[in-house]
């Protein structure tokens, strides 16, 4: 059997601010990595979440309950993670894959799905843009 390339992957998870300052990071070398016991790094209420959610929370522990806003890419999409962070006074926003592709939409229009506290939006301009957030509402504001 050929060895899979993914068996030897190293993943580096970083928590940076908007200026690029690295606050915390974690190196993951696979399940066989004994120092990487993410369950020991997260609060008790987060132990039942997915590995990606627990990894995010482990990096965020010192920043929970302080009103910060976390921005991530679509690898971290988990409604349970959105809810956990919202319960700990941390807003979250990210781009997301085409999970909302079944919503019909006209050019330069927005479609929204809102279930407090989670807002999912689909916007069409030149290309389709998808996002999820707990830090915003469906109100539209016009800037000039």
Confidence of residue 108 (pLDDT cuts 50, 70, 90): low
4 vs 92, higher pLDDT: 92
Q: Where are the domains of the chain?
A: 5-133
Burial of 90 (C-beta count, 10 Å sphere; 0-12/13-18/19+): buried
pLDDT higher than 70, residue 143: no
- For residues 66-74, give the mean pLDDT: 85
Other Cβ atoms closer than 10 A to 121: 19
pLDDT higher than 70, residue 122: yes
Place of tokens 């939006």: 121
Residue 63 has what pLDDT? 92
Confidence of residue 97 (pLDDT cuts 50, 70, 90): low
């Amino acid at each position: 059997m050929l060895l899979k390339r993914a068996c030897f992957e190293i993943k580096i998870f970083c928590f940076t601010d908007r200026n690029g300052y690295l606050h915390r990071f974690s190196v993951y070398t696979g399940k066989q990595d004994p120092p990487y016991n993410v369950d020991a790094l997260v609060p008790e209420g987060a132990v039942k979440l997915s590995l990606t959610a627990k990894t995010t929370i482990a990096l965020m522990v010192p920043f929970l309950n302080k009103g910060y806003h976390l921005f991530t890419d679509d690898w971290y999409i988990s409604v349970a993670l959105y809810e956990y962070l919202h319960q700990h006074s941390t807003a979250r926003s990210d781009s997301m894959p085409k999970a909302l592709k079944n919503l019909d939409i006209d050019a330069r229009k927005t479609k929204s799905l809102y279930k407090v506290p989670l807002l999912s939006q689909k916007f069409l301009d030149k290309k389709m843009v998808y996002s999820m957030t707990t830090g915003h509402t469906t109100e539209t504001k016009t800037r000039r």
